[in-house]
Amino acid sequence: MVRPFTKWTIRVQNKEADFRYKHVNLRDNSESVAMYSSEAFEKTECERFFEVAIHTRYWTLFYNVLSVISDTFFNDFSDPIRYIVLSIPIIYFGSYDGVSQDSLAGTITTYASMLSHLLEVLTACASVIFAYSRLAGSAKRVYDFMCYTEDGPKPEGGDYGSKTKCDDILYEFDRVTYCTPNNGGKVLLKDFTLKVNQNKNVLITGPSGAGKTAFLRIISKIWPIKTGVLTVNAYHYDILPIPSNLYMPNGRLTLKQQIIFPLTVDKASKCFDDQQIMAIIKELSLDSVLHLCNGLDSIVDFEWAERLSLAQQQRIGFARILYHRPELALLDEATNCLSPAAEREMYMMLQKRGISYISTGNQPLLRPCHDIEVKLNGWGGYEVFDLSKSNADKGMVLP
Ligand SMILES: Nc1ncnc2c1ncn2[C@@H]1O[C@H](COP(=O)(O)OP(=O)(O)OP(=O)(O)O)[C@@H](O)[C@H]1O
Ligand SMILES: [Mg+2]
């Protein structure tokens, strides 16, 4: 009886979460909605999500009615119920015929009190069962979420090799195959083998949907490896991912907090001082952002992703790299909103500090900033090109 209610509780919570997420998404994209004048479309969509949530809730009504009956009926009607039950053997079966009135009154009082306790226990058991099934539904959702966040993707045939700090190989792919994570996923890269040394920078190219971002997801352990072994000789915090659409946490944080993210200000102040952050801001020409924020430590009165241009956000992404100085930066089209000259400057900053990087993107201007190109065809095939040689031949190495 409990199991179906638990399942329906999970479904109801899923649908309600979808409905709430639709609203958050609408709020985040209100500017685009206004530009497209798509208010009517959004209204229909919100109503659709609402209807799905309500219809899913209908199926749990049966259990809710049972729960209400058990809670109220037995509590409110406990007196009539117990006297009706007690009257049956006396009136209909004559079981107490010939018993004196005093003795019958005593028996009725005893049994009425026992019945009253029994009804109380039954009511309490029923409420516990209903409360438990509701809780079990919510707990299952939290449990599934925690399993995923703690264990990461379920391991398939592939694996991650253990770190070895004895040589200067930063990462090594040994016959690695990966697919899209859906059922019967499409193979994006097959039997890929590559060893990359410190300070050798790799560019991943290929048509849209070929698996360039997926390549970075595999290194970040977000997607599982199907077969083969990938060894990355950098610790978790020595790899910093920078997507093209930079994640800037909301909550009107300070500029300093955005730059040092994911560290918090109290932890960061021990290892870096404000002057060094100011030097990074100057180097990245972020003075206008500093002015907009009234300095490093003022709490701003806007949301970052809404106020800053995409190019400014990408510069903040690079400020994070210069601040954290990871061993390896994963740059997913992280400069595609900048001018070619600014792109070159950003890469020069990383090279000057000896930060290795893997970038994705198809702009020809990226080639002079990298040593190796891995070109994916989207069906598992790949080609590897040594760019350092061709760059040198064309005189295209960074100064
Ligand atoms: N969560 C997911 N589940 C299943 N398939 C996915 C998922 N995310 C992406 N894909 C698929 O994986 C393939 C590779 O996606 P990926 O984002 O790596 O492409 P890309 O080469 O980076 O493309 P682009 O140049 O447009 O950024 C695409 O076919 C995409 O539809
Ligand atoms: Mg991509």
The ligand placed nearest to the CA atom of residue 210 is 1
Question: Which of 161, 328, 298 has the alpha carbon at shortest distance from 230?
Answer: 161
Q: Is the CB of 212 under 6 A from ligand 1?
A: yes
Ligand 1, atom 6, residue with closest C-alpha: 180
For the chain, percent of residues with pLDDT exceeding 70: 91
**378-394 pLDDT per residue, tens:** 999 999 999 987 766 65
| Per-residue pLDDT at 384 | 95
Q: Specify the residue with its C-alpha closest to ligand 1, atom 20.
A: 209
In 228-266, which positions are buried (b, 16+ CB within 10 angstroms) versus exposed (e)?
bebbbbbeeebbbbbbbebebeeeebbbbbbbbbebeee
Q: Reply yes or no on whether the pLDDT at 65 is more than 90.
A: no
Hey, whose CA ends up nearest to atom 25 of ligand 1? 208
- Residue 279 is predicted with a pLDDT of 95
Q: Whose CA is nearest to atom 17 of ligand 1?
A: 213
- What tens digit of pLDDT does each residue of 10-46 get? 899 999 999 999 999 999 889 889 999 999 999 999 9
Per the document, the length of the chain is 399
- Whether the CA torsion 215, 332, 220, 22 is positive or negative: it is negative
Higher pLDDT: 277 or 184? It is 277
**Confidence (pLDDT) at 393:** 65
Q: Nearest C-alpha to atom 1 of ligand 1 is from which residue?
A: 181
CA of 337 to the centre of ligand 1 (A): 20
Q: How far is the CA of 209 from the centre of ligand 2 (A)?
A: 7
Mean of pLDDT over the chain: 87
Question: Which range (95-104, 219-228, 320-329, 349-358) has the least confidence?
Answer: 95-104
41's tokens? 């479309």
In degrees to the nearest 10, what's the CA dihedral of 300, 302, 303, 304?
-60
* Mean pLDDT to the nearest integer, 178-202: 90
What's the pLDDT score for residue 268? Answer: 65
**Could you tell me if the CB of 210 is within 6 A of ligand 1?**
yes
pLDDT of residue 271: 62
Q: How far is the CA of 332 from the centre of ligand 2 (A)?
A: 7
Token output for 137: 């539904």
294: left (phi over 0), alpha (psi -120 to 50) or beta: left
CA 289 vs CA 35, 246, 257, 262, 292: distances in Å: 25, 15, 14, 20, 5
CA distance linking residue 297 with residue 124, whole number of Å: 55
Contact 247, 298 (CB under 8 A): no
213 lines ligand 1 (CB under 6 A): yes
Q: Which of 10-14, 50-54, 128-132, 354-358 has the lowest mean pLDDT?
A: 128-132
In DSSP terms, which residues pair with 332 in a beta bridge?
A: 243, 360
Q: What is the per-residue pLDDT for 138?
A: 86
- Say yes or no: CB of residue 244 within 6 Å of ligand 1: no
Q: What pLDDT shows up at residue 153?
A: 61
Q: How far is CA 73 from CA 70, 76, 126, 355, in A?
A: 6, 5, 12, 71
The closest of 229, 226, 231 to 154, measured between CA atoms, is: 226
- Atom 24 of ligand 1 has which residue's CA nearest to it? 208
Beta strands at 372-376 and 202-205: parallel, antiparallel or unpaired: parallel
Residue with more model confidence, 86 or 355: 355
Closest CA to 360 of 201, 128, 144: 201
With 60 as the cut, is the pLDDT of residue 87 above it? yes
Ligand nearest to the CA of residue 204, numbered in listed order: 1
Q: Give me the pLDDT at residue 380, please.
A: 94
- Looking at residue 366, what is its pLDDT? 92
Q: What is the pLDDT of residue 207?
A: 96
Q: Could you list which residues have their CB under 5 Å from ion ligand 2? A: 212-213
Tokens of 265: 């200000």
Q: At what angle do helices 310-324 and 274-283 cross, to 10 degrees?
A: 130
Instruction: Indicate the pLDDT class of residue 322, thresholds 50, 70 and 90.
Output: very high
Residue from 204, 212, 332, 382 whose mutation best tests the ligand 1 pocket (most atoms within 8 A of CB): 212
* Higher pLDDT pick, 131 / 270: 131
State residue 184's pLDDT score.
Answer: 75
pLDDT-derived band of residue 316, with 50, 70 and 90 as boundaries?
very high
- What percent of the chain clears pLDDT 90, i.e. is strictly above it? 51
Is the minimum distance from the CB of 211 to ligand 1 under 6 angstroms? Answer: yes
Per-residue model confidence (pLDDT) at position 274:
87
- What is the gyration radius of the CA atoms in the chain, in angstroms? 32
pLDDT (mean) for 111-139 = 85
Q: Tell whether ligand 1 has an atom less than 6 A from the beta carbon of residue 180.
A: yes
d(CA 155, ligand 2 centre) in Å: 23
Mean pLDDT of all residues in 184-200: 91
For the cut 90, the answer to whether the pLDDT of residue 256 exceeds it is: yes
Mean pLDDT across the stretch 141-149?
Answer: 83
pLDDT at 151 exceeding the cut of 70: no
Cβ(377) – ligand 1 distance below 6 Å: no
Q: Which residue type sits at 330?
A: L
**Span 162-183, average pLDDT:** 82
